[in-house]
Amino acid sequence: MQTIIARGVPLDEHPKKGGHRGAPDWEGTRIFLETIRAGSFRSAGDVLKLSVNAVRRRFDEFEESCGVTLVSRDAYGVHLTLEGERIFAAAQKMEAAYFDVVRASDQSELTFEGRVKLAITEGLGTFWVAPRLIEFQHAYPKLMVNMHCAMSPADILRLEADVGVQITYPSDKDLKVVKIGRLHTMPFATASYVKTYGRPKTVGELTKHRIVLQVSPQLDSEDSFHQIFVGKSIESIVVFQSNVSSAHYWSIAKGAGIGMLPTYANGMGAPVIPIDIRDDKNPDQMLRRHYDIWLTYHPGSHNIQRVRRLIDWLKEAFSPELYPWFKDEFIHPNDLPLSVDGLPLMNLFAGFSAKEMVGRSDDCTPV
């Protein structure tokens, strides 16, 4: 019969009877690793989707099975002891071996079925990849793409994603990294904004305008702001700040102010126009930024058929030969081609803009 204390408590939180020292299992190892990485039981519970009591109990069982004190505990969280550091290093190797087993089993598949996980920055995922995923779907109808858009890179080695697309170079040396293009950005505004507030030509003139800013991981926008506008605070000239590309884009497209957008922004349908702004001290220097686009995946994943198909498709989707705005050299929006493969540039974003897509066909979005 259950004790009164245990009634109504989830099964995974019931007190464990008998407790004895034994070999650490994978589940306990996983909870130990996440707790150390998160810094506290409560934060680890958020990551693992478990209650803090369940995490603490399973952690204690793992510690008991190891036979040594792994952490010191205080109001700020948990801190590894010397013995805990050795166990943590060994546990990381165990985790890597586990993921290698998972990948090895995946490599045995012969059909293009199942799910493939893509982690990508919110802007590239929303504005570039999503509008043409139908191409991939038509080629591999039994493959489901699970796309996670976020500005923080996913941990590919720990299977948070099969493939990643990011604009900062990965720090993990065990990843396979391929440069697939370069994202160029420059100031844009709407014609109505320019009509109302004028068109700035220098950084000095820009300080008198309404600025729209995106601040998020992988973007150096806040640091760049202070380098460009020396001595100015963000609050003094920025009228709208967001952490995601979609809100940033729409704020500019609706006339809130001047902000940095990819050079292919004209093709996205909003009536935005490029604004050429020169440095006051160096007239030959234009206000522009670029970010290399990195494709990342585990080296063994290339042998998994479903993952390899997505890798190959992404390389083509960002091909500088097909889409010149991804070339290393900057091409002004006014000089970009108006069509790709004979079809209007705006067709690449068909369905995203409210504008009518000229020459659009109903069967698929063209490459």
**Same domain for 80 and 134?**
no
Last residue of a domain, one of 73, 90, 106: 106
Does one domain contain both 166 and 315? yes
Q: Residue 46's domain spans which residues?
A: 19-106
d(CA 39, CA 80): 10
Q: Residue 104 — very low, low, confident or very high, per pLDDT cuts 50/70/90?
A: low
The reply to whether 30 falls in a domain is yes
My answer on whether 97 and 144 are in the same domain is no
Average pLDDT in the 92-109 region? 67
**Helix/strand/coil for 256:** coil
Q: What pLDDT does 16 receive? A: 45
Whether 73 and 118 share a structural domain: no
Name beta bridge partners: 343: 340
Report CA Rg, the chain: 26
| Residue 97 and residue 122 in one domain | no
Query: Is the pLDDT assigned to residue 238 strictly greater than 60?
Result: yes
Distance CA 117, CA 148 (A): 8
Is 77 within the bounds of a domain?
A: yes
The mean pLDDT of the chain is 82
Instruction: Please identify, among 81, 106, 131, the residue that sits at the C-terminal boundary of a domain.
Output: 106
Q: Verify that 159 and 298 share a domain, yes or no.
A: yes
Tell me if residue 259 falls in helix, strand or coil: strand
Within this chain, do residues 273 and 317 fall inside the same structural domain, yes or no? yes
User: Does 261 lie in the same domain as 355?
Assistant: yes
The SS3 call for residue 243 is coil
Distance CA 8, CA 16 (A): 16
Average pLDDT of span 300-317: 86
Beta strands in 5-158 (DSSP E): 71-74, 77-80, 114-120, 143-149
Indicate whether 334 and 310 sit together in one domain: yes
Query: Does any domain span residue 7?
Result: no
pTM value is 0.67
Residue with tokens 């067709």: 347
CA distance 218 to 296: 15
Does position 362 have pLDDT exceeding 50, yes or no? no
Judge contact between 152 and 161, C-beta under 8 A: no
Q: Which residue has the higher pLDDT, 16 or 168?
A: 168
Does residue 13 surpass a pLDDT of 60? no
Query: Per-residue pLDDT for 3 more than 60?
Result: no
Q: Give percent of the chain with pLDDT exceeding 70.
A: 81
Give the pLDDT confidence of 274-285 residue by residue, as tens digits.
999 999 888 889
Residue 350's pLDDT is: 56
What pLDDT was estimated at residue 19? 44
Average pLDDT over residues 109-138: 84
Tell me which of 332 and 348 has the higher pLDDT.
332
Query: What CATH code is carried by the domain that includes residue 35?
Result: 1.10.10.10
Same domain, 167 and 307: yes
What are the tokens at 313?
Answer: 């498709």
Q: Which CATH number covers residue 176?
A: 3.40.190.290
Instruction: Work out the average pLDDT over 198-213.
Output: 95
136 and 229 within one domain = yes
Domain boundary among the residues 106, 134, 157 is at 106
d(CA 177, CA 295): 6
At residue 206 the predicted structure's pLDDT band, cuts being 50, 70 and 90, is very high
Task: Give 344 or 272, the one with higher predicted confidence.
Answer: 272
Residue indicated by tokens 């590919």: 156
Residue type, 291: Y
pLDDT given at position 6: 42
* In-domain check, residue 2: no
Domains in the chain, number: 2
DSSP-based three-state secondary structure for 304: coil
Mean pLDDT of 107-119: 71
pLDDT at 17: 42
In a domain, 321, yes or no: yes
Q: Name 166's bridge partners.
A: 294
In a domain, 200, yes or no: yes
Q: Is the pLDDT of residue 102 over 80?
A: no
* Calpha distance 67→74 (Å, rounded): 21
Residue 39: inside a domain, yes or no?
yes
Q: Does residue 11 sit within a domain?
A: no
Give pairs for 339-348: CB < 8 Å, separation 24+. Answer: 340/366, 340/367, 341/366, 341/367, 345/264, 345/266, 345/267, 346/267, 346/268, 346/269, 348/131, 348/132, 348/267
Q: 304 and 354: one domain?
A: yes
Task: Quote the percentage of the chain above a pLDDT of 90.
Answer: 39
